[in-house]
């Protein structure tokens, strides 16, 4: 079965750029989306189809996908961005989620 | 604005059937989207359970396929989940969400929006 691998944790200082990676075989050939989940809340979509940002999502959130790795980038990270982030893709008629990355802003 | 609300028993006994309903408002389940169920065990990540189109076309997580049934009720604008023969490992927050299907490809893409989730505990 297809797997998406994310680092368990990423740390960033306020105002700096954070990158969360998601790796999978030939992932660049698939669409990837990203969700943000804060404690006790439902996930919200922050990036879809690799690079697109839903309305209401701040411009500091961006995405890329090439080769075997997709990346969620948060520029000028704010304390409010501290959350768990999950990538998702579709493979062989199956939705696959990455294991999630806890982003700490400190 | 689309709103999804999950409901169902918060406690299910082992070996019984977990039955949940997702009530959709602000959109019709026959509108051209898929509707999915996702769960999250305590302290764990997201796990896709399955997704369904109003026509009945569905896709399931291979690891759960033998125990899962998802259905739609267009008259009530609801999506339902049945998970059979549950064990403690099925204890989780269960979410329903609207899912985009990429035109002419059959690719099921992003989930948006999500319901608030409902906590289900499997215990005697």
**B2-21 mean pLDDT:** 97
pLDDT at B105 over 90: no
Cα separations in angstroms, A22 against A33, A59, A85, B55 = 10, 20, 10, 33
3-state secondary structure of A27: helix
pLDDT at B27 over 90: yes
Task: Return mean pLDDT, chain A.
Answer: 97
Nearest-Å Rg of the Cα atoms of chain B is 14
Which DSSP state fits B33?
Answer: -
By the CB < 8 Å criterion, does B64 face chain A? Answer: no
CB atoms within 10 A of CB B15: 11
| pLDDT tens track for B40-78 | 999 999 999 999 998 889 999 999 999 999 999 999 999
pLDDT interval class at B104 (50, 70, 90):
confident
With an 8 Å Cβ cutoff, are B45 and A100 in contact? yes
Cis bond upstream, residue B113 (ω within 30)? yes
Question: What's the pLDDT at B108?
Answer: 87
Cross-chain CB nearest to B45 (options A44, A86, A95)? A86
pLDDT interval class at A26 (50, 70, 90):
very high
B116, closest residue in chain A (CA to CA): A42
**B92-118 mean pLDDT:** 94
Question: What's the pLDDT at B103?
Answer: 83
| pLDDT tens track for A50-102 | 999 999 999 999 999 999 999 999 999 999 999 999 999 999 999 999 999 99
Half-sphere exposure at residue B19, Cβ-oriented, CA atoms within 13 angstroms: 4
Question: What's the pLDDT at B106?
Answer: 82
Cα separations in angstroms, B26 against A36, B2, B14, B23, B29 = 23, 4, 36, 10, 10
Cα separations in angstroms, B67 against A53, A67, B15, B37 = 36, 36, 11, 14
**A34-45 mean pLDDT:** 98
Distance CA B96, CA B48 (A): 10
């Amino acid at each position: 079965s297809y797997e998406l691998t994310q680092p368990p944790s990423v740390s960033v200082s306020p105002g700096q750029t954070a990158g969360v990676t998601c790796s999978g075989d030939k992932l660049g050939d698939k669409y990837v989306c990203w969700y943000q989940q804060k404690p006790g809340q439902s996930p919200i979509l922050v990036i879809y189809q690799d690079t697109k940002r839903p309305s209401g999502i701040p411009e500091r959130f961006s995405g890329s996908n090439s080769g075997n790795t997709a990346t969620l980038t948060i520029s000028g990270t704010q304390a409010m961005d501290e959350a768990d982030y999950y990538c998702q893709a579709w493979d062989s008629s199956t939705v696959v989620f990455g294991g999630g990355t806890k982003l700490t802003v400190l | 604005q689309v709103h999804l609300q999950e409901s169902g028993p918060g406690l299910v006994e082992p070996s019984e059937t977990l039955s949940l309903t997702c009530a959709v408002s602000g959109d019709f389940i026959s509108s051209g989207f898929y509707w999915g169920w996702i769960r999250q065990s305590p302290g764990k990540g997201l796990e896709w359970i399955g997704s369904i189109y109003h026509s009945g076309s569905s896709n399931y997580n291979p690891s759960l396929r033998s125990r899962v049934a998802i259905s739609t009720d267009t008259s009530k604008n609801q999506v339902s989940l049945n998970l059979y023969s549950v064990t403690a490992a099925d204890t989780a927050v269960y979410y329903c969400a609207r899912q985009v299907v990429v035109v002419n490809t059959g690719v099921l893409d992003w989930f948006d929006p999500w319901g608030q989730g409902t906590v289900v505990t499997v215990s005697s």
